């Protein structure tokens, strides 16, 4: 961002008398707004459409397919409908907290997007405490949810809000431990540094660095699901038990804010997982030199575009897996959820960090054969999975021998 701001100051003489810090601030705010409107908001909307189509196909239905090609504009229609709805606030609800809660939830989620990189140069604020800031700021969501549960003046909402607060706060610990493992390997908290410490090829990713990293990745994935209130951890908004949990009394756009946060959080979970474990936006250096050598505007933008595409693709795979898990697994009960966090994930997280620390002392440069072995193992698992899918598809299409239409 700083380079871009310097370029702008050079090109636009009107900005030169303005103090440099203000220009930087202005550029950052403008890009934050652009990112919010051009990326986060459409992404949240599109992922809601994608989720509905994927869920429908898994349930042997079709999903929204009327509004626009393949139903693509369904989310726009939903957004417009929600804005046009009557703003109902229960009389006995706390007037300030009820209105404030959705905004807090939204702000907490969006403030974390500031440190998510899109490519090697496109990041709004490359803080040197990047990942730490991210975990800290997403905790504001807890305050918002608790507010929503309390201010609704509804016992079900209160139950949902309290369950959610307990869940999110508890699962910060395993998530933090898993992130700690990555910070050990990198030596820095900044997200760009973490990505720069990895490479483009799978054996250069942190996921396959040593045998403890997959454990940490799994722990991070499960904890992030729990923090994002996704099934199997969606008891705060368990439809069949609490109607809609903490968002029962909300309607119209305020209601949409809660779900906006949930969908945008999908990308946050995926982005953190990609950046920390799956190599982020790294593309092979040969491709990068070839792209920059094309010269001109293309040579300037193509490497960044390729990096963004890589990052987005890896995040999209993780988002798909999250959606897939939601529509397959039942939800677990509150006490089982707590015991999962404290009795299983936290000890695994501690074991992983201890293991990685010992590994780094014993093998300071890592062991390439271990990396190749882990890569090969992962590739085998992926191939076996696709084989099983093909088998199930074949099995479910057996011909029927009795012809009913004789």
Partner 1 sequence: MELNTEEMLLNMGPQHPSTHGVIRFVVKTDGEVMSAAVPDIGYLHRSIEKIAEKATYNGFMPWTDRVDYLAAMNCNVAYAMAVEKIAGIEISRRAEYLRVIAMELNRIISHLLAVGSLGMDIGAYTPFVHALREREKANDLIEELCGQRLTYNYARIGGVIYDMTPNWDAKVLAFLEQFEPLLNEFDRLLTDAKILKKRLGGVGVVTAEEAINYNLVGPNLRGSGVKWDLRKDMPYSVYPELDFEVPVGTGEAGVLGDCFDRYNVRMKEMRESVKILRQCFERIPAGEYQVKVPKKIRPPAGDVYVRTESTRGDLGVYLVSDGSDKACRVKFRCGSFNAMSIVEKISRGMMVADLIAFIASLDIVAPEIDR
The site for partner 1 (CB under 8 A) is made up of 55, 58-61, 155-156, 159, 231-232, 234-235, 238-241, 243, 327-336, 395-396, 398, 400-404, 406
Smallest distance from partner 1 to CB 298, Å:
45
Smallest distance from partner 1 to CB 175, Å:
21
Peptide bond preceding 232 in cis form (omega within 30 of 0): yes
Q: Distance between the two ends of the chain, CA-based, in angstroms?
A: 72
Instruction: Between 245 and 303, name the residue whose CB sits nearer to partner 1.
Output: 245
What's the angle, vertex CA 157, arms to CA 337 and CA 56, rounded to 5? 65
Residue with structure tokens 């271990």? Answer: 370
What's the angle, vertex CA 358, arms to CA 272 and CA 186, rounded to 5? 35
Instruction: Between 56 and 305, name the residue whose CB sits nearer to partner 1.
Output: 56
Q: Could you tell me if 145 and 168 are in contact, meaning their C-beta atoms sit under 8 angstroms apart?
A: yes
**Beta carbons within 8 Å of 344's beta carbon, 6+ residues apart:** none
Instruction: Between 286 and 335, name the residue whose CB sits nearer to partner 1.
Output: 335
- State residue 141 phi and psi, 5-degree precision: -60, -35
In terms of residues, how long is the chain?
406
Smallest distance from partner 1 to CB 43, Å:
24
Instruction: Between 328 and 380, name the residue whose CB sits nearer to partner 1.
Output: 328
Structure tokens at 183: 């910070």
CA dihedral 163, 89, 44, 33 (to 10 degrees): -120
Smallest distance from partner 1 to CB 348, Å:
17
Smallest distance from partner 1 to CB 271, Å:
26
How far is Cα 355 from Cα 352, in angstroms, rounded to an integer? 5
- Helices 130-138 and 95-113 cross at an angle (nearest 10°) of 160
Instruction: Between 327 and 342, name the residue whose CB sits nearer to partner 1.
Output: 327
Instruction: Between 23 and 56, name the residue whose CB sits nearer to partner 1.
Output: 56
Smallest distance from partner 1 to CB 97, Å:
20
Smallest distance from partner 1 to CB 149, Å:
13
- Measured from the Cβ of residue 383, the count of other Cβ atoms closer than 10 Å reads 10
How far is Cα 184 from Cα 357, in angstroms, rounded to an integer? 7
Instruction: Between 17 and 404, name the residue whose CB sits nearer to partner 1.
Output: 404
Smallest distance from partner 1 to CB 355, Å:
26
Instruction: Between 339 and 380, name the residue whose CB sits nearer to partner 1.
Output: 339
How far is Cα 366 from Cα 208, in angstroms, rounded to an integer? 11
Per-residue buried b or exposed e for 288-321, using 16+ beta carbons within 10 Å of the residue's own CB = beebeeeeeeeeeebbbebbbebbbebbeebbbe
Instruction: Between 234 and 307, name the residue whose CB sits nearer to partner 1.
Output: 234
Instruction: Between 365 and 396, name the residue whose CB sits nearer to partner 1.
Output: 396
The secondary structure of 11-67 as a DSSP string is H-GGGTTS-HHHHHHHHHHHHHHHHIIIIIHHHHHHHHHHHHHHHHHHTTS----SS
Smallest distance from partner 1 to CB 334, Å:
6
Smallest distance from partner 1 to CB 370, Å:
30
């Amino acid at each position: 961002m700083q380079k871009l701001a310097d370029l702008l100051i050079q090109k636009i003489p009107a900005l030169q008398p303005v103090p440099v810090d203000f220009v930087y601030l202005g550029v950052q705010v403008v890009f934050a707004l652009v990112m919010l409107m051009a990326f986060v908001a459409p992404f949240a909307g599109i992922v809601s459409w994608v989720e509905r189509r994927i869920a429908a196909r898994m349930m042997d239905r079709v999903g929204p397919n009327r509004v626009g090609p393949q139903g693509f504009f369904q989310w726009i229609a939903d957004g417009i409908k929600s804005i046009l709805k009557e703003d109902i606030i229960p009389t006995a609800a706390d007037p300030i907290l009820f209105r404030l809660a959705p905004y807090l939830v939204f702000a907490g989620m969006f403030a974390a997007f500031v440190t998510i990189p899109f490519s090697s140069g496109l990041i709004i604020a490359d803080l040197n405490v990047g990942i730490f800031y991210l975990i800290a700021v997403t905790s504001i969501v807890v305050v918002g949810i608790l507010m929503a549960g309390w201010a609704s003046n509804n016992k079900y909402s209160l139950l949902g809000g309290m369950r959610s607060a307990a869940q999110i706060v508890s699962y910060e610990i395993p998530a933090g431990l898993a992130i700690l493992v990555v910070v050990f390997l990198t030596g820095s908290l900044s997200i760009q540094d973490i990505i720069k410490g990895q490479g483009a090829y799978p054996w250069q990713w942190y996921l396959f660095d040593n045998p403890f990293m997959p454990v940490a990745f799994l722990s991070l994935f499960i904890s992030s699901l729990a923090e994002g209130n996704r099934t199997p951890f969606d008891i705060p908004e368990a439809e069949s038990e609490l109607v809609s949990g903490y968002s029962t009394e909300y309607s119209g756009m305020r209601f949409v804010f809660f779900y906006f946060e949930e969908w945008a959080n999908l990308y946050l979970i995926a982005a953190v997982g990609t950046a920390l474990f799956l190599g982020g936006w790294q593309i092979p250096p040969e491709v990068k030199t070839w792209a920059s050598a094309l010269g001109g505007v293309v040579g300037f933008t193509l490497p960044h575009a390729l990096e963004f595409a890589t990052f987005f693709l890896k995040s999209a795979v993780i988002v798909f897996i999250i959606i897939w898990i939601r529509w397959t697994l039942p939800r677990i009960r509150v006490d089982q959820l707590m015991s999962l966090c404290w009795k299983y994930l936290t000890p695994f997280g501690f074991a992983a960090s201890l293991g990685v620390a010992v590994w780094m002392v014993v093998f300071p440069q890592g062991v390439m054969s271990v990396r190749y072995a882990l890569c090969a193992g992962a590739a085998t698992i992926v191939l076996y999975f696709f084989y099983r899918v093909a088998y199930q598809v074949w099995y479910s299409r057996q011909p029927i021998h009795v012809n009913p239409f004789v």
